[in-house]
Structure 1
């Protein structure tokens, strides 16, 4: 199925020779009359044989574009490179856009194990076990394509990351608070970005999804979700509850989830409209934090969240990405007693420019004001 490009993701100057949809292909052929030096990415061209047989394709690159054999032979002879689709994969390594929840959870009615998300994780486990170099290359190509699509999606956006653990259960006050945080950030004009998984991540994406609706909608949605509080023991039931909410309120606000198949036991949450899912967790972690240009809010979490705090602190400390971005840690007891991360972060920041960009607050409701105060 040909994906639909996000309405708010225009091409930038650096991408003005990329073609990522059939509509773009037709527009370029009609207006420019040439495909020379264009990059055509994951577009089904089986119905465009006449165009491929007639226009100049010198220096063009076709990445995973199905086309008739006569067309493929002709464009190769004209000087184009053709990378054909790879058969029998549960994902497209050349895809031009980030994922949607409907794509990753397709066939959920047959159980989560039948979805592209689960099948992609199973493929990863199989190919990692046998050390197939071709599979390694496909994973790298896929992740680079996802990064490219994510960059295009977020052009001009003020992105605030919300980080937190996957263990936060639906039906708890902590989950409701994280959802209210996501809603307030979205209503303030920020693009909410999370690690894309369950728990605190899902709650923040849910809040952004609820932003266009009245406050009662979020309360009702939280009650519906509470019937499947965790993604264990059944991811299927957990996901179906989320899609029930989406079905009842179909016009939710956008946000971004950036999960990974590295943590295959954690499914992506269906409330992020745009899901940039990676095979390589290191690429995903660095990319997620680097794109949070307006700051990051860290909710209580465990090892993964601690890692994210210092992954974010390092470029702020060295100013390797320019001016430090705001960091707000939520829950004083958690970050000073249970996992005493705050004292070390504060010691690192002392007498550096990032010192004015970090804050510790007691409750979630204080986070938006702290973010604003720090310049987010």
Structure 2
């Protein structure tokens, strides 16, 4: 070719952010875009700063500490801490009962004996770590040189773990704590107690009824205290067809600590 045609000037094109794989073609309505993990942000949705910049910013609001995404991380950390701490605990039994029970209450001595017998039978004793019946069971296990575990919970009337706990974990969330009781216990022994005790009792029998847990004994200690509840469940709930007789049969009622521990051991023994 002898003639050279002039090359036209290139059109003015706005700068496109240099983010790999996100450059837009000239003329696109969304020249400004950002890829944040799996999310694509374009136009006015693109933030002025990156995630790393916001993370490393020295002065920023702290309301994120109370936002739901951060709560998820706290919940996850409670499960990780609980599983990691208790995974090598070995056979264990949870003992429940009222925190309001004084040392002079007849059921307190019953709790001490239950803790002692469980430890002597080779079980770790897991309680809520508080005073009253929980302290009693921990005390019995502690003095029998057994493993005495307390799973505490953050409450407005915080009391801390009792002095007989030699392995303790404190939880913010009731549901994370409940999982630890159920996952690492071979059965429940329930001393007289209030709403918290009833909550644990009925959660256990519900999970057994729905076969979420199997071969899980529940022993109620204190015949005079629990008999009215058993009678109501039999005469009203069972009579109305709301539960089956098998649901009641799995609950063992006794005043004898030896019988309570033997009930746990019976479930542990393989069928002949």
TM (norm. structure 1) is 0.48
How far, CA to CA, are the matches of 1:330 and 1:258 in structure 2? 21
State the shift of 1:304 in Å. Answer: 0.8
Whose strand fraction is larger, Structure 1's or Structure 2's?
2
Question: How far 1:365 moved relative to its partner?
Answer: 4.9
Matching residue of 1:350: 244
Pair 1:333–1:351, CA change in 2 (3 A): closer
The question of whether the paired residues in 2 share the 8 Å contact of 1:342 and 1:360 is answered with no
2:79 to 136, 144, 147: 144
Structure 1, residues 347-374: CA drift from partner, whole Å, max 9, x if none? 476354x555321113445422333345
* Distance in 2 between residues matched to 1:179 and 1:332, nearest whole Å: 17
Name the SS for the 1:186 alignment partner.
helix
Is the CA contact (8 Å cut-off) linking 2:190 and 2:219 kept in structure 1? yes
Higher Rg of the two aligned structures: 2
The unaligned stretches of length 5 or more in structure 2 are 1-54, 56-62
Other structure's SS at 2:87 match: helix
Give runs of aligned pairs for residues 1-376 of structure 1, distance below 5 A: 131-133=66-68, 136-137=71-72, 139-154=74-89, 157-212=90-145, 253-262=146-155, 264-292=157-185, 294-321=186-213, 323-337=214-228, 340-341=229-230, 343-344=232-233, 347=238, 350-352=244-246, 356-375=249-268
**Cα offset, 1:135, TM superposition:** 5.6
Quote the RMSD (CA, aligned, Å): 3.0
The answer (yes or no) to whether the contact 1:317–1:324 under 8 Å persists in 2 is no
Deviation per residue, 1:4-52 (Å, 9 max, x gap): xxxxxxxxxxxxxxxxxxxxxxxxxxxxxxxxxxxxxxxxxxxxxxxxx
Residue 315 of structure 1 and its aligned partner are, at CA, apart by 1.1
Q: Displaced runs of 4+ in structure 1, greater than 6 A?
A: none
Unmatched tracts of structure 1, length 5 or more:
1-83, 85-126, 213-252
- Which structure dedicates a bigger proportion of its chain to helix? 1
